[in-house]
Amino acid sequence: MRRPGDRIFSGLSTSAGIVILAALALVAIFLIIQAMPALLADPSEVRGGQGLFHYIGPLVFGTLLSAFIALLIATPLSIGIALFISHYAPRRLAAVLGYIIDLLAAVPSIIFGLWGAEVLAKGSVPLQEWLFENLGWIWLFSGEQATATGRSLLIVSTVLAIMILPIMTATNREVFLQTPSLHEEASLALGATRWEMIRQAVLPFGRSGIVSGMMLGLGRALGETMAVAIILSASGARYSWELLTSNSASTIAADIALNFPESSGISTNTLIASGLVLFLITLIVNMIARWIVSRRAEFSGAN
Amino acid sequence: MSKRIDVHDLDIYYGKFKAVQGVEMTIEPRSVTALIGPSGCGKSTFLRSLNRMHEVIPGAYCEGEVMVDGVNLYGKNVDPVGVRRKIGMVFQRPNPFPTMSIAENVLAGVKLNNQRIKKSDADELVEKSLRGANLWNEVKDRLDKPGSGLSGGQQQRLCIARTIAVKPDVVLMDEPCSALDPISTLAIEDLIEELKADYTIVIVTHNMQQAARVSDKTGFFNITGIGKPGQLVEYDATEKIFNNPNEKATEDYISGRFG
Ligand SMILES: Nc1ncnc2c1ncn2[C@@H]1O[C@H](COP(=O)(O)OP(=O)(O)OP(=O)(O)O)[C@@H](O)[C@H]1O
Ligand SMILES: [Mg+2]
């Protein structure tokens, strides 16, 4: 016999779970149904006039490119900040810093977008021009002309990096704090400096945690709409590695946000189809992240 | 290489709490010194103060002198990292690095001092250290397998190999056998006997027979009450401590344990 309280609670939580799953399924079904016409339509009717894959391909490319660059910026930063909090900062300062980083997670993305477009983009024009002039031989910084407004894919990635910093830092800090003191002391007793101890004991122990933090960050960076839409003026459906020019690639989320209001008919269906692709990409990334996290749990149990 | 240690008027603190008070002790080179005493009397704390591992704990510090061949470990310009390279430590629970292979574990300390080491030199050092720790024959066919795949006793000997691979002057051991079965314990005791030829060894143990078997000198630590600091009550030749101690407290402790 179970107590009524238990039964009510388990009933509530089960139904909540079912509602969430149902909502997810409904979203997927909606996307598929709405995307269908674009899949079936004649290529010339689709946005861009050359078929669905021709339209979505470059956007997928741009989405992945900006998210990966964001990850490239955020990963070392988040590891550095997390290490500082877990192993260098005095306890009081560490608590304050952790709190500030968590607060960053609560800033709405539209604010990040406005800040990125108004402050960061404008302020960094000289820096971007410098990169263009001096490091133009790196394919990422090459192109015709650096954008005069500064609203480039590089700024998009930088803002995305700042947005995914809190979750990545929080995950990293958690795993770094969990390093068994047994292993830290083993390293110190061999005559390791603090940094050597971190490389020998803390980072290897935290590796899978770092990877799962990266995946979570990637998931968020991929789906981010508002910040990207506000900053990026380029609405190009083109494959381009250029980070500094106004000829850069665009992202799915930004493309939808920019073009949805004025679209109709097959055009709308095309946008929804690209949304479906984004949905699948983020789903897969998040599933991989969960899988890595769970594998990690098994590992630490066995040790 | 081995060195003489002179401890003079050493007080050891955890923040405001004074855990150990007024230790005076001279440890001869190439000898084994055992530290015994009831739980909580500060044996581990004292041992960790001998290679400046104590201060790794937040708020922990020492006052007094620990002279190693005439140099005060707690002197102004002494780098604790350098101290720990010269004075190695083996812990109560075996702690090989889980992400490293057996060979990498042995080389862990050497890689810190000297990042680039020739492959042939490295192989030689791995073999020498593992032989030194009486582990070579058991692991020579699986040097590239994880160190955490060994038995507890083997892991502890791996940790000893890792410690002696950096050629320290002194080896500190904190209850190195307490997690091991009697056979592994004997293996480690034999090893201590052999290591004595080259190193100064200080070992904490709760096992009276072990102290009597392996050590030349024994120090008995005690506390007079909860919250009071531990003190070195008596320090003398092991024979004397076990057969004819000067202090009543020592005799009570030893006879109590021996029944
Ligand atoms: N990290 C710590 N922080 C604060 N106090 C500590 C810490 N470690 C030990 N102590 C205190 O210091 C005193 C001595 O502890 P220590 O671990 O040195 O005893 P021990 O003789 O090694 O005991 P055992 O035989 O149980 O290992 C104890 O009162 C203990 O509570
Ligand atoms: Mg102890």
**Of A273, A215, A265, the residue nearest A59 (C-alpha):** A273
d(CA B243, CA B223): 22
Provide the residue range defining the domain that includes A166: 11-299
pLDDT on residue A199: 93
- CA-to-CA dists, residue A246 to A42, A62, A109, B135, angstroms: 30, 13, 23, 65
pLDDT on residue A235: 61
CA B36 to ligand 2 centroid distance, Å:
10
**Of B224, B257, B225, the residue nearest B241 (C-alpha):** B257
Pairwise pLDDT comparison (B147 vs B96), residue with the higher score = B96
Handedness of CA A82, A87, A88, A92 (dihedral sign): positive
* Token pair in block for residue B11: 């007080």
* Token pair in block for residue A55: 């339209």
pLDDT on residue B230: 94
The mean pLDDT of A10-27, rounded to a whole number, is 91
Q: How many CB pairs under 8 A join A and B?
A: 65
Residues of chain A whose beta carbon is less than 8 angstroms from a beta carbon of chain B are 91, 180, 182-183, 185-193, 196, 200-201, 204-205, 207, 303
- The answer to whether residue A54 sits within a structural domain is yes
Three-state SS at B29: coil
Three-class HEC string of chain A: CCCHHHHHHHHHHHHHHHHHHHHHHHHHHHHHHHHHHHHHCCHHHCCCCCCHHHHHHHHHHHHHHHHHHHHHHHHHHHHHHHHHHHHHCCHHHHHHHHHHHHHHCCCCHHHHHHHHHHHHHHHCHHHHHHHHHHCCCCHHHCCCCECCCCCCHHHHHHHHHHHHHHHHHHHHHHHHHCCCHHHHHHHHHCCCCHHHHHHHHHHHHHHHHHHHHHHHHHHHHHHCCHHHHHHCCCCCCCCCCCCCECCCCCCHHHHHHHHHHHCCCHHHHHHHHHHHHHHHHHHHHHHHHHHHHHHHHHHHHHC
Per-residue pLDDT of A49-75, as tens digits, reads 777 888 888 889 989 999 999 999 999
pLDDT on residue A55: 86
- The answer to whether residue A136 sits within a structural domain is yes
Does the structure show a pLDDT above 50 at B182?
yes
pLDDT on residue A224: 81
Average pLDDT, chain A: 85
Q: Which of B16, B41, B45 to mutate to test the pocket of ligand 1 (most atoms within 8 A of CB)?
A: B45
The mean pLDDT of A114-126, rounded to a whole number, is 88
Instruction: With CB atoms and an 8 Å threshold, state whether B95 touches A183.
Output: yes
pLDDT on residue B95: 93
- What ipTM did this prediction achieve? 0.91
B90, containing H or E segment = strand B87-90
List the single best residue of B47, B79, B81 to mutate versus A (max A Cβ within 10 A): B81
Which pLDDT band holds residue B1 (cuts at 50, 70, 90)? Answer: low
Share of chain A above pLDDT 90, in %: 29
Which pLDDT band holds residue B24 (cuts at 50, 70, 90)? Answer: very high
d(CA A119, CA B14): 49
The mean pLDDT of A117-130, rounded to a whole number, is 87
Which pLDDT band holds residue B213 (cuts at 50, 70, 90)? Answer: very high
CA B209 to ligand 1 centroid distance, Å:
23
Task: Give the residue carrying structure tokens 């590695």.
Answer: A241
The mean pLDDT of A158-170, rounded to a whole number, is 92
pTM for this model (two decimals): 0.83
Does the structure show a pLDDT above 80 at A27?
yes
pLDDT on residue B69: 86
**Of A101, A118, A57, A83, the residue nearest A250 (C-alpha):** A57
Per-residue pLDDT of A242-301, as tens digits, reads 888 777 888 888 888 888 888 888 888 888 898 899 889 988 888 887 787 676 555 443
pLDDT on residue A303: 38
- The answer to whether residue A111 sits within a structural domain is yes
- The answer to whether residue B76 sits within a structural domain is yes
- The answer to whether residue B92 sits within a structural domain is yes
Does the structure show a pLDDT above 50 at A163?
yes
Per-residue pLDDT of A201-240, as tens digits, reads 999 989 888 988 898 899 888 888 778 888 886 566 678 8
- The answer to whether residue B177 sits within a structural domain is yes
**Of A247, A246, A229, the residue nearest A238 (C-alpha):** A247
CA B43 to ligand 1 centroid distance, Å:
8
Task: Find, in chain B, the residue whose alpha carbon is nearest to that of A208.
Answer: B99
- The answer to whether residue A1 sits within a structural domain is no
d(CA A225, CA B171): 60
From the number of C-beta atoms within 10 Å of its C-beta (0-12, 13-18, 19+), residue A247 rates as middle
Ligand number nearest CA of B174 is 2
Least-confidence region, from A129-138, B3-12, B161-170: A129-138
The mean pLDDT of A46-51, rounded to a whole number, is 76
The mean pLDDT of A176-192, rounded to a whole number, is 93
Q: What CATH number did the domain enclosing B25 receive?
A: 3.40.50.300
The residue contributing the CA closest to ligand 1 atom 11 is B19
d(CA A185, CA A208): 21
Provide the residue range defining the domain that includes B176: 5-254
Share of chain A above pLDDT 70, in %: 94
Spatial CB neighbours of B195, under 8 Å, sequence gap ≥ 6: B132, B160, B164, B171, B201
pLDDT on residue B7: 95
- With beta carbons less than 8 A apart as the criterion, state whether B58 and B238 touch: no
CA B218 to ligand 2 centroid distance, Å:
16
pLDDT on residue A299: 46
Give the number of domains in chain B: 1
Which pLDDT band holds residue A104 (cuts at 50, 70, 90)? Answer: confident
Q: What atom in ligand 1 is closest to the CA of residue B41?
A: 21
∠ CA A212-A216-A221, nearest 5°, is: 140
- The answer to whether residue A281 sits within a structural domain is yes
Does the structure show a pLDDT above 80 at A119?
yes
Which residues, judged by CB distance below 6 Å to any ligand atom, belong to the binding site of ligand 1? B 14, 17, 19, 37, 39-45, 57
- The answer to whether residue B162 sits within a structural domain is yes
Instruction: With CB atoms and an 8 Å threshold, state whether A190 touches B108.
Output: yes
Task: Count Cα neighbours of A116 within 13 Å in the Cβ-side half-sphere.
Answer: 27
- The two beta strands, B17-27 and B230-237, are parallel
Give the number of domains in chain A: 1
List the single best residue of A190, A194, A197, A298 to mutate versus B (max B Cβ within 10 A): A190
Share of chain B above pLDDT 90, in %: 72
pLDDT on residue A236: 63
CB-CB neighbors (< 8 A) of A180 in chain B:
95
pLDDT on residue B227: 85
Three-state SS at B206: coil
- The answer to whether residue B259 sits within a structural domain is no
Q: What CATH number did the domain enclosing A163 receive?
A: 1.10.3720.10
Does the structure show a pLDDT above 80 at B218?
yes
pLDDT on residue B148: 85
Least-confidence region, from A105-114, B75-84, B111-120, B183-192: B111-120
Instruction: With CB atoms and an 8 Å threshold, state whether A182 touches B88.
Output: no
d(CA A118, CA B193): 73
CA B174 to ligand 2 centroid distance, Å:
7
